[in-house]
Structure 1
Amino acid sequence: METDCSTRHATAAETAAPAPLPSGTRLLHIGPHKTGTTSIQGALFAAKEAMAEHGVAFPAHSRHPMEAALAVCARPGMMGDTRPTEGHWQRLLDAVHASKKQTSVISSEFFADAPDDETIARVVDDLGRDRVHVLVTLRPLAKIMPSQWQQYVQNGLRMGYEDWLDHMLRKAPYEKPNPSFWRRHRHDRLVERWTRVVGAENVTVVVVDDRDRGGLMRTFESLLGLPDGLLTEVPDTANRSLTLAETEMLRKLNMEFRGNGLPDELYSKLVRNGAVMHMKNACRPTADDPRITTPTWALEAAAGIGGEMAERIGTMGVRILGDPALLSAVPSPGQDDPEQEAARIDPEVAAQALYGALVVAAEAPPAPPERPAVRTVHQTSSKELVRVLGHRVLKRLKGS
């Protein structure tokens, strides 16, 4: 992977508000992850009824049709969750086709995980090839990396941030421990894959400027022909990123979890959807909470890759909205290791996480009594006891 950090000429792009897409277009927003997807999905879902008054349908039955996108892209979903089925995709398709001649908008960052051209072609054909316009939102890699790392930790990753950066940026083929990262975030190749299928004239790339908080909302309004101000950000604490201390606490828990061979379903129920979810909702980070800090060498490498990607995308003939030079800018570095080492979890945060796990366990129906074990507790190793306990808790949670 090239990481040349030399300055490049910025790709030309449109800065004025874009003209609305033709009436009846099916706008497919494919993310990728950490590029404003949660905010725009929340805004679209909240404005669903208002958009309908202007001839724009939001056919998904929830804020984010994640299961549908995972199913059609043959992705397994989050660790321990039930694997999405074809039925999830068909349900979304039925809602899309029910919108008939209306303009409609479908948004899921998991479409960026489509593994090949055949999968992309199927998505486009199922939605209606002659009506699909693909929208890709991009942010600088330097801003994506810390957010994506902590998201991987929420899905069981045990690797520390600097070690993870080392693998993603320095250790070819840059696929361990998360092969999905560069499939999503080698943005030039992502745009190229979808352009091969739908044609450059049916792809719009938006470079998100974090300094303009409402910019992405206004871009969607313009493309969909909606009035200014119709889309507004909806606060969603359940989807906030974890702080450094919270992420480190969870990462240490992941190490114990894996080390004791506990079932993935238990992780999904008690950890991600119990402890972490309750912690996010109950605890609001402050300015004093240490943030996840990217070292200077990684910032420079990410900016170099961003410049390469912007240059390649500029040659593909797709429409580009925003300033591609943002993708290659090197942000000011924060403090490095000292801040990372100083992260300590607040007792209140730890208590809320534990409480969330206990609530999930307490709400599970009681399981029928089991036959007595052949061996006594004192005859069983502590590691095996933890594993057996995990399976018993999972059985209780399932109510079987």
Structure 2
Amino acid sequence: METDCSTPDTTAPVTPGRLPAGTRLLHIGPHKTGTTSIQGALFAAKETMAVHGVDFPAHSRHPMEAALAVCGRPGMMGDVRPVERHWRRLADAVHATGERTSLVSSEFFADAPDAATVARVVDGLGRDRVHVLVTLRPLAKIMPSQWQQYVQNGLRMGYEDWLDHMLRRAPYEKPNPSFWRRHRHDRLVERWAGVVGAANLTVVVVDDRDRGGLMRTFESLLGLPGGLLEEVPDTANRSLTPAETEMLRMLNREFRGNGLPDEIYSKLVRGGAVPRMKNVCRPASEEDRIRTPEWALEAAAAVGAEMAGRIGALGVRVLGDPALLSARPSPSPSPSPSPSPSPSSDGDAPAVPRIDPEAAAQALYGVLAAVAADPGPTAGIRPVHRTPSRELVRVLGHRVLKRLRRA
């Protein structure tokens, strides 16, 4: 195994050896490991990279539909399910690069559930030329970001309740079975290395202290000039604050409880309210973020240490310090309060930070703007005063029975 465990130093960066010319580099994430940042930089520099013999054949920054289609996974809540043509379009674009080096990046490739699916991906891109790249960060930093991403896709469970399910309740698959498929990193690496071979897989342990480290690693692997890849500002990728996340979680409860179509959520909430709130409103302080309880940090560190050991035994190339996979965030001197669970099944939080009125206003405006841009998804929704009384009685009766069953 080729491992570089030196402490990152921006004056003397680690420079991994360049991959052979003609390699088809497949970056599979997983989620929350710097994927959005690197994809934005690669897409912005695609024309310049081509001058240096490296093609970025995807038609967008992130070919999510293609990855979901080939892995047999559904799209986001309310989105149209990706189909085979999405995958074929990407695969054809990769093959059209001929003998040149090319790069494809999507964290949704990490959702491939088994060796057969991995083989389909690799064969579709040209098995003899594919080199797989996996980027990793410590679980303690991934968990709050991944939870709030699930909330943005309709999750109603509070953070500590969710952590309890993911870390304490075997088989650790509810409510989000995709979490450990993506973030049991040793098994992820093993699954892909079993298909492409250990020599054709590189693991990069991301060190958040070195902000440009991931960009430099991609440049070195692809043989690009240093400094070519630059971070593209992306305010829409910022994390939600505890209050913003709690507002969205409560909205998810109301949405599900009232039986609205998923397409409405996709268009108005995830495509309207959330991006507007992220783009316009900035948290007052970096300390205003989701807090992970001590017991969960300890559990995540233990899992991270175990994963680092198993990855080290697989014979793949590891760039960076594997010990970082069990790292814990430094404690903050004045943490913000975070949602805590209650006895309810949804993990309600009785005491949470109040949302900034500006953020609430921008979220509402995002919904209105989405409706104005395309009123189609809301065309079938009638206000109460235009709904026949017989239908109202039926709907109310259904809700009463539903609540009685819960009781």
Give the Cα separation in 1 of the matches to 2:331 and 2:169.
22
Q: Is the 8 A contact 1:295 1:336 kept in 2?
A: no
Letter in 2 for 1:13: D
Per-residue deviation at 1:356?
0.8
CA contact (8 A) 1:76 1:84 kept: yes
CA-to-aligned-CA distance 1:329-388 (integer Å, 9 cap, x gap) = 233345778444441111110011011111122233575999x978349x8359659x9x
Give distance in 2, aligned partners of 1:369 and 1:220: 48
CA contact (8 A) 1:299 1:333 kept: no
Identity %: 75
Tell me which residue corresponds to 1:364. 374
Matched with 2:206 is: 208
Task: Give SS of 1:204's match.
Answer: strand
Tell me the number of residue pairs that the alignment of Structure 1 and Structure 2 aligns. 375
> What is the rounded CA distance, in whole Å, between the counterparts of 2:387 and 2:323 in structure 1?
67
From 361, 364, 367, the equivalent of 1:354 is 364
2:62 is paired with a residue whose SS is coil
User: Is 1:92–2:90 an aligned residue pair?
Assistant: yes
Q: How does 1:248-259 map to 2 (within 5 A)?
A: 248-259=246-257
| Distance in 2 between residues matched to 1:319 and 1:190, nearest whole Å | 15
1:38 and 2:36 aligned:
yes
Match of residue 329 from structure 2: 331
Choose the corresponding residue for 1:197, options 195, 198, 206.
195
What's 2:116 paired with? 118
**Equivalent residue for 2:353, pick from 333, 339, 343:** 343
> SS state of the match for residue 41, structure 2?
helix
Structure 1 counterpart of 2:231: 233
1:13 is aligned to 4
Q: Residue 21 of structure 1 contacts residue 224 of structure 1 at CA under 8 Å; is this kept in 2?
A: yes
Is contact 1:294-1:336 (8 Å) kept? no
Judged with a 3 Å threshold, the aligned counterparts in structure 2 of structure 1 residues 337 and 279 are, in CA distance, closer, same or farther, namely: closer
TM score, norm. by length of structure 1? 0.89
Q: Is the 8 A contact 2:138 2:328 kept in 1?
A: no
Amino acid across the alignment from 1:375: P
CA RMSD of aligned residues (A): 2.4
Q: Partners in 1 of 2:259 and 2:167 — Cα distance?
A: 30
Q: How far apart are residue 241 of structure 1 and its match?
A: 1.8
1:397 is aligned to none
C-alpha separation between the residues in 2 aligned to 1:220 and 1:39?
Answer: 12
Q: Which runs of 5+ in 1 are unaligned?
A: 1-10, 388-400
Shift of 1:134: 0.3
Task: Compute the displacement of 1:328 (Å).
Answer: 1.4
Range with greater deviation from structure 2 (213-222 or 277-286): 277-286
Question: Could you say which residue in structure 2 is the equivalent of 1:392?
Answer: none
One-letter amino acid of the counterpart of residue 93, structure 1: A
Report the alpha carbon displacement of residue 307 of structure 1 after superposing the two structures with TM. Answer: 0.2
1:26 alignment partner AA: R
Alpha-carbon distance in 1 for matches of 2:273, 2:218: 35
3-state SS of paired residue (2:4): coil
Amino acid at match of 1:274: G
Say if 2:262 is the partner of 1:246: no
- 1:206 counterpart SS class: strand
2:278 is matched with 280
8 Å contact from structure 1 (residues 72, 123) kept in 2: yes
Residue 237 of structure 1 deviates from its aligned partner by: 1.6
Name segments (4+ residues, structure 1) moved above 2 Å: 11-16, 329-342, 362-370, 372-377, 379-385
Distance change (3 Å), C-alpha of 1:122 and 1:43: same
In structure 2, the gaps of 5 or more residues are 7-13, 340-350, 400-407
**Counterpart contact for 2:138–2:326, Cα < 8 Å:** yes
Residue 277 of structure 1 and its aligned partner are, at CA, apart by 1.5
Deviation of 1:286 (Å): 2.3
2:388 aligned partner = 375
Q: What amino acid sits opposite 2:208 in the alignment? A: D
Going from structure 1 to structure 2, the CA distance change for 1:271 and 1:326 (only over 3 Å counts) comes to: same
For residues 5-57 of structure 1, give each alpha carbon's deviation from its aligned partner in whole angstroms, at most 9, with x where no partner exists: xxxxxx95365311100000000000000000000000000000000000000
* Structure 2 contact 289–336 (Cα < 8 Å) conserved: no
> How far is the alpha carbon of 1:236 from its aligned partner?
1.1
Partner residue of 2:155 out of 137, 157, 177: 157
CA distance in 2, matches of 1:216, 1:99: 25
CA distance, structure 1, for counterparts of residue 298 and residue 162 of structure 2: 16
Match of 1:49 among 42, 47, 50: 47
SS at match of 1:270: helix
TM-score by length of 2: 0.87
Report SS of the residue matched to 2:76. coil
* Residue in 2 that maps onto 1:29: 27
Relative to 1, partners in 2 of residues 1:22 and 1:96: Cα closer, same or farther, differing over 3 Å? Answer: same
